[in-house]
Structure 1
Amino acid sequence: MATGRGRLVQHHCRGLRELRWPLGGGGAAPGRAGFRKDPSLKGAAGRNALQQYARWEKDCEKPPTNCSVSLDRMPPEILLKIFAYLDAATLLCTGCVNRRFYHLANDKISGLGWVIILKEKSGKEHILKHVDLSINNASAAAVWYGKHWPRLAALSGLDLCGAMPVFMHWPKTPSKNGPRWHSLIAKYNLSDLTGSTMIGCDGLIRIFCLNPGLLVGLWKREEELAFVTANLHFHHLVERSTLGSATVPYEPPPHSPLLDDTPEYGLHDYQLHVDMHSSGISYLSGTFRSLCTKKGYIENGYVKLVVISFKNNTEHIPLIGKLGLFWRTDVFDGYIKSCSILDVTLLDAYGKPFWCFSSPVCMRSPRSSDSPNFLGQTFNVNYMDAEGKVCMELVWIEETEEYFIVSLVLYLSVAKVNHWFGTKY
């Protein structure tokens, strides 16, 4: 079902389709002189066409309060931002409006792609286009691999950018070799990559995670780049990929603090959607509603939000299969156990995205555990950034050969909560 914004745009699209010049195939309407010169428009047909044109012209002269008249004149960047809110069914309707909307709605965001810029210590740069792309429930994963990587020891950093064609000529598709507008999404330091925390390995590669959401694979034998994967959450993805510059990332509009009408209850009516997946295989996809926490429930600068309680076994849920992360290059492919991609989308009581991310994670055996031993072997999956932490505890059930999530807790930064509501916890 379309969202509120989706229904609004769908209504506008219906209006545009009805206002299209019926004889023009979606293009601009001809002038009055065009009718007089057209030999096919004579007699009653000509009079009817002139009457339809007069009604169309009268509608266009109305004040621009009717968005359906001006929507088609918007630049493609704005239309792409609007289309990003639509579901598949609404996009299908949008593509029926005219030829321009058809291409915008059906050509994978009209030429949008992603590049990484590998920067050498000498100042030399290597710009590489993504070679593979997978779409998940809440994120996209862009992948780079090849045989001609620069040497890792010579690299100092990596820039992740969205790439849009500078020139768009409808209905023609953008040129693959034309100039591209780069929108910086994130910068990463590669000067000490092997010194950072490794999250997994197999017989051929080791993988490292760099926040936000970058997965880097190194060949074990040569200690050189094997692949790079950027995990991109859908929240503000179109804006981040198109509206920044090559040196400055997109900045969302300043946040206006929301009214906390029941501060005595703390956080309440939050909703969490969480996915764990790899290469199209879903290990977990769940939505948790009516999440809340009491006022003053703070630990070390974090507000604690319990999603799955260890003490309530009716909340415990299984994973589908065994966690593992699939990787591929142009030479080899493989599978790394106990790793996956974690997508988190946390909505506040107003349904607004409060905290969103997509990142590689790994499952590890804890050094010590408070869980009773009779449940089975326990594992932890943890994630942390500037806005919060995710702590997940799993138990391996030998009899059924499956993992159960027995605890899931979010820790939200008090600074983030105060900024969001304009309060002081």
Structure 2
Amino acid sequence: MATGLGEFLRNLRQGLVKADETTRGEAQKGETARAEGARRRRDHDTSSTSLHPEQCGGNRRGNYLERLPSEIILKICSFLDASSLFNISFVNKRFHDLANSNALWSVLYASEFEKKKWRPQVRIMTEAVSSTSVEEKPAGYWKKLLLKEMAGYKDTLWKTELRHMNPHTGMPALTEQVLRRLHIQWEITLTKKNGRESVHKQSHIFFEDSSVTVLWSRGVWPYMSSLEGLQLHGIMCPALPGPGDKPRWRSLIHKTSLTRSIPWSYLGADKLVKLLNLNKGIIVGVWRGNWKIAFIMVNLHFHKLIERSLLGSRFCPYIPTGGTAADPDCGRHGYTLHIVLHNPVRRIMCQHFSPLYTSRVPFQDDYVQLIAINFSDVPEHKPVAKISLPWQAEGVQGDVERCCMMTLTVLDEAQRPFWCVSSPVKMSNKFRAVDLEYEGEQFIIVYEDVEGKVKMTFVWMEMLQQYFLVQLSTAFPAAKVKRHFGGES
């Protein structure tokens, strides 16, 4: 009995052990089967995308966009508009190549023409775009055409109008008319240190014969200390804006920093505002005491102004291309100097000098100069009206004395622009080092950049209540002459 019971218990124990081993074995087999199934699904997913090793980059858990084949990315890009497609081209080289595909831009170009039913032969143009000749065009061909269309100008028309030059200024004679006809305006974008941006539309413009002064004085302005940057864009506004208008194309003209670490000069002040001179002809007026911006003023030279206002992008300015003179000796034949002093309200002085010949600057052999008015040549001295810069903002106005805008154009013998300047300038007191026939206080205006220098000397005639310009000279590096004319200076 005892032997039989002991045998039964022993057999029961062995059975339970075998059952437990069987259960664990089946569980392990199930887990193995599930792992194998997951591995097969991963392999299937990987093989279905037809990835190349260089696309995977050796890391299956890396950037999924780079693992996508080009065909899928092109399909995704086909749902983007022109602006978004333009922006993603800056991501990397692969996206740049794909986002500039003629297949994408030709479709956008055809759809743009379909929206303008008034255009003649729209159907023919659409068929041409949809034909097999799309890929035969050079890379970027349809993108260039569409961006021109989005800018909204007729390239050949205004370029033809700008061929007619004003013999007095050397600038296109119809610049102002073309700017008004194309409804070109300029916007200021201020960027705060927290990343927020505010856009300000122009409130006043003043045309001179070779420049335009633009004023922004409306809206809510931030404090100078809260700003990080300033951008100036050219835009083309519709003649009759509608509620469904698309965002306008912006062409970057200038971008600068407004932090105090970037040097800017002090122009002048009156009882209400102080004027700060940034580079590229930008004036920022701030209220005295709190340094809150009251207005911004910019003087823009006519040289390539329409191109700079239309042909750049939102982030990159237009870069003109120019050749060299055929005759290396042209730099010695004669120059033309046209200079205008003005403000946003009136012209102060306008003088034209031709021909002028270069000479070496004493003690500065690396500079050459053009002397338009000399101290000793009294008959050439010019009377000049009162020099000041009026302003208006938030219903108040003022006038800052002894500063104004200067627009200077130097042309070579072929009447090609050699040096163009549009900048605010200020007068400074000068020690009376030169004896003149005039009795009065002397002032100077000095402008200098990497391209050249300008110096003017004035004498204030108290009895006549006006200035006399008794000296005017310009100087520029000899290397600039060599670079411009393609010969030895």
- The answer to whether the superposition gives a TM-score over 0.5 is yes
Distance verdict in 2 for CA 1:375–1:105, change over 3 Å = closer
Q: Distance in 2 between matches of 1:411 and 1:246?
A: 35
- Residue of structure 1 in register with 2:194 after alignment: 122
- Residue of structure 1 in register with 2:310 after alignment: 242
Distance verdict in 2 for CA 1:414–1:195, change over 3 Å = closer
- Does residue 404 (structure 1) correspond to residue 468 (structure 2)? The answer is yes
Q: Please state which structure has a larger fraction of its residues in helix.
A: 2
Q: Please state which structure has a larger fraction of its residues in strand.
A: 1
Percent identical among aligned pairs is 33
Which aligned pairs between 1:409-420 and structure 2 lie closer than 5 A?
409-420=473-484
> What is the SS of the residue equivalent to 1:181?
coil
Aligned Cα root-mean-square deviation (Å): 2.9
Q: Deviations over 1:3-50 (max 9, x none)?
A: xxxxxxxxxxxxxxxxxxxxxxx9969xxxxxxxxxxxxxxxxxxxxx
Q: Distance in 1 between matches of 2:290 and 2:308?
A: 35
Aligned pair partner of 1:378 in 442, 454, 459: 442
What's the CA shift for 1:271? 0.8
Distance verdict in 2 for CA 1:366–1:164, change over 3 Å = same
- Residue of structure 2 in register with 1:307 after alignment: 372
- TM-score (norm: length of structure 1): 0.71
Q: Distance in 2 between matches of 1:77 and 1:152?
A: 39
What's the CA shift for 1:375? 3.3
> What is the SS of the residue equivalent to 1:127?
strand
Which aligned pairs between 1:33-112 and structure 2 lie closer than 5 A?
76-85=154-163, 108-112=180-184
Q: Distance in 2 between matches of 1:139 and 1:207?
A: 21
The amino acid that maps onto 1:351 is Q
Q: Distance in 2 between matches of 1:237 and 1:224?
A: 30
Distance verdict in 2 for CA 1:256–1:297, change over 3 Å = farther
What's the CA shift for 1:121? 1.9
- TM-score (norm: length of structure 2): 0.62
Distance verdict in 2 for CA 1:367–1:300, change over 3 Å = farther
Q: Distance in 1 between matches of 2:156 and 2:381?
A: 43
Q: Distance in 1 between matches of 2:120 and 2:354?
A: 48
Q: Can you give the 5+ residue segments of structure 2 that lack an aligned partner in the other structure? A: 1-117, 122-151, 167-175
Q: Distance in 2 between matches of 1:368 and 1:378?
A: 6
What's the CA shift for 1:139? 0.7
Q: Which has the higher contact order (CA 8 A, sep 6+)?
A: 1
Distance verdict in 2 for CA 1:271–1:305, change over 3 Å = same
- Does residue 291 (structure 1) correspond to residue 356 (structure 2)? The answer is yes
- Does residue 138 (structure 1) correspond to residue 138 (structure 2)? The answer is no
The amino acid that maps onto 1:354 is F
Aligned residues of 1:388 and 1:410 also touching (Cα < 8 A): yes
Q: Deviations over 1:264-288 (max 9, x none)?
A: xx63321111111112322111111
What's the CA shift for 1:409? 0.4
- Residue of structure 1 in register with 2:334 after alignment: 269
What's the CA shift for 1:185? 0.8
Distance verdict in 2 for CA 1:401–1:282, change over 3 Å = same
> What is the SS of the residue equivalent to 1:375?
coil
Aligned pair partner of 1:330 in 394, 412, 421: 394
What's the CA shift for 1:395? 0.8
Q: Distance in 2 between matches of 1:393 and 1:348?
A: 25
Q: Deviations over 1:362-397 (max 9, x none)?
A: 111025633459632110011112211110001112
Aligned residues of 1:81 and 1:238 also touching (Cα < 8 A): no
Aligned residues of 1:267 and 1:294 also touching (Cα < 8 A): no
- Residue of structure 1 in register with 2:255 after alignment: 187
What's the CA shift for 1:194? 9.8
Q: Distance in 2 between matches of 1:111 and 1:400?
A: 43
- Residue of structure 2 in register with 1:164 after alignment: 236
Q: Distance in 1 between matches of 2:399 and 2:426?
A: 13
Q: Distance in 2 between matches of 1:258 and 1:414?
A: 18
Mark the structure with the bigger radius of gyration: 2
The amino acid that maps onto 1:238 is I
Which shifted more, 123-132 or 214-223? 123-132
- Residue of structure 1 in register with 2:294 after alignment: 226
Q: Can you give the 5+ residue segments of structure 1 that lack an aligned partner in the other structure? A: 1-25, 30-73, 89-103
